[in-house]
Amino acid sequence: VSKAGNNERPAATRERLPTVLDVARLAGVSKTTVSDVIREQGSVAATTRARVFEAIETLGYRPNIAARSLKLQRTEVLGVVAGDFFDPFNAEVTAHIEREAAGKGYRVLLATTGDSRIAEASGVQSLLEYRVAALIFVGFSGDARVAELLGTGPPTIFISYESPLGSSVTIDEKKGGDIATTHLVELGHRRIAYLSTTFAGQKQLDRSRISGYRRALRRAGITPSDDLVLRLGGIPGAEREAIVHGLLSRKDRPTAIFASSDITALELMGYVDRIGLDIPDDLSVVGFDNIAVAGLPRISLTTVAQASAQMAKLAVEAAIARLQDPGLPLGTQLIQPELIVRRSTAPPR
């Protein structure tokens, strides 16, 4: 890390930015008129308007949003709380939320939690201090402190979570777990394991997917075994690999694994490759999310697709709808999961 200074003149002490008053003076009108021109409201004579625009231009005037929000008692900012962006699913959803929000004139204020409940709670607290117009959770731990904060908060939308605290946009998680497992059952697998590495917080999500997994097994006449359910959230990487290694070394090792997310499936594939087992010949793997990389030929992961763009769109729309009509009832928008069959699954041999 080297450092190359350059000889730019240091920025002069930051002078005050121009205000409506400055513009008004320069244009020879009152504050109100300037305000009206900016907001395209009231009726201002064309010539006056032109002068105002000119003044704005020459001064480089930019409205101060903080002052406006203070007066208006509302903001056009959406608070987004997301786990982290190392799971591309979160990043993709957040990107779509931002695009969607920007299209509707809203900005996104971000708080990532890095899978820490403390960070989650303090992030939410902070977003609330900014008086965000609405809050969108891209995944939620269910933390009680956060729930309490939300009580007096703005409209809240949960993605991939359901709670009476707000509206939800989620796929049918249980059904997702079911179709993934059913796919494996139909291929002829009997010993099917479940693997999750989602952080300790994401309990609800884990539970729904597992219950779908169990339902599918039972329907096929297979008794679910707790032995085959590995929840490795919060466990460090090396230890995780050892546990998976253990699972795959048993004489009655599973012939298929349903991973609770693509990122988990990818991690698993790494372990499996290192052990020297072949996917799908020795082991079938199904993921969940259908992140972009899952479709790469090298990966070709069979997975349950969540339409991230659609979910983001619905979440933003729901947030704004609740904003415009606070009386709107809460509800859940349930998206249908879709199985994407690729080459990581095959009949057991």
Partner DNA sequence: TTGAAAGCGCTAACAG
Partner DNA sequence: CTGTTAGCGCTTTCAA
- Restricting to residues 161-190, which ones interact with DNA according to CB under 7 A? none
CB 256 within 8 A of CB 348: yes
Q: Residue count at the site for DNA (CB under 7 A)? A: 29
Calpha distance 324→112 (Å, rounded)? 27
Q: Counting contacts by CB under 8 A, is residue 65 touching a copy of itself?
A: yes
Q: Counting contacts by CB under 7 A, is residue 16 touching DNA?
A: yes
Query: Which residues ranging from 39 to 98 are in contact with DNA (CB under 7 A)?
Result: 39, 41-45, 48, 63-64, 67-68, 70-73
Calpha distance 282→346 (Å, rounded)? 9
Instruction: Please classify residue 94 by burial: count the beta carbons closer than 10 Å to its beta carbon, then call 0-12 exposed, 13-18 middle and 19+ buried.
Output: buried
Of the two residues 13 and 43, which places its CB atom closer to DNA in the complex? 43
Residues in CB range of 245: below 8 A, 6 or more apart: 271, 275
**Which of 222, 229, 334, 339 is in the footprint of a copy of itself by CB under 8 A?**
334
Q: Counting contacts by CB under 8 A, is residue 102 touching a copy of itself?
A: yes
CA 68 to chain centre: 29
- Partner that binds at residue 44, options DNA, a copy of itself, none, CB closer than 5 to 8 Å by kind: DNA
Query: Which residues ranging from 73 to 92 are in contact with a copy of itself (CB under 8 A)?
Result: 73, 75, 77, 84-86, 88, 91-92
Joined together, the tokens standing for residue 162 give 């359901």
Q: Counting contacts by CB under 7 A, is residue 133 touching DNA?
A: no
Of the two residues 7 and 47, which places its CB atom closer to DNA in the complex? 47
CB 299 within 8 A of CB 290: no
Calpha distance 231→261 (Å, rounded)? 12
**Which of 292, 321, 339, 340 is in the footprint of a copy of itself by CB under 8 A?**
292
- Partner that binds at residue 42, options a copy of itself, DNA, none, CB closer than 5 to 8 Å by kind: DNA
Q: Counting contacts by CB under 7 A, is residue 149 touching DNA?
A: no
Task: Select from 24-32, 178-186, 243-251, 275-283 the region that touches DNA (CB under 7 A).
Answer: 24-32
Calpha distance 242→28 (Å, rounded)? 76
Edge to edge, what strands does the sheet with 192-196 contain? Answer: 229-231, 192-196, 256-259, 284-289, 302-305, 338-340
Residues that bind DNA (CB under 7 A): 16-17, 19-21, 28-33, 35-36, 38-39, 41-45, 48, 63-64, 67-68, 70-73
